[in-house]
Amino acid sequence: MVNDTTLLLDLDGVSVIRVERCEDGGRRVHLATADASARACPACGVFSSRVKGSATTRPRDLPYGERGLEFLWHKQRWWCREPACPRKSFTEQIPQIPAGARLTGRLRSAAGRRIRDAGSTVIQAARDLNLSWP
């Protein structure tokens, strides 16, 4: 699924709801799930039609511009409607941002390449990518 968000941010499966300017000059981007396949249970593959609730995550991504972007992904939590499925509920996920991930796949890959190819430490790779670690 290609939309304007995919073309701009290279994050297929989400769309931009709105963008805010932060006090520090950065931008906060509110995202929503745009891929209907995100409603499929990851355990059994059955598509859900019953929302359990909502969740907001803050996946971190590669730097974009001088200040970078802060993502807020507003997604749904779904009930799995397959009685035999061991998974009763799940949150939406896309290939680039799996459930529970704090970093996008491309940010993890970029950090890994810096460590592997440039011999950087984990801390140096994080600094190079403007990441702060807890």
- CA atoms of 109 and 113, how far apart (whole Å): 6
Write the pLDDT tens digit of every residue in 34-73: 999 999 999 999 999 999 999 999 998 887 777 778 999 9
User: pTM for this structure?
Assistant: 0.82
DSSP string, 79-105: E---TT-S--EEE--BTTB-TT-SB-H
Residue 132 has pLDDT above 80, yes or no: no
Write the pLDDT tens digit of every residue in 66-117: 777 899 999 999 999 999 999 999 999 999 898 888 888 888 888 888 788 8
In what helix (H) or strand (E) does residue 118 lie, and over which residues does it extend? helix 105-118
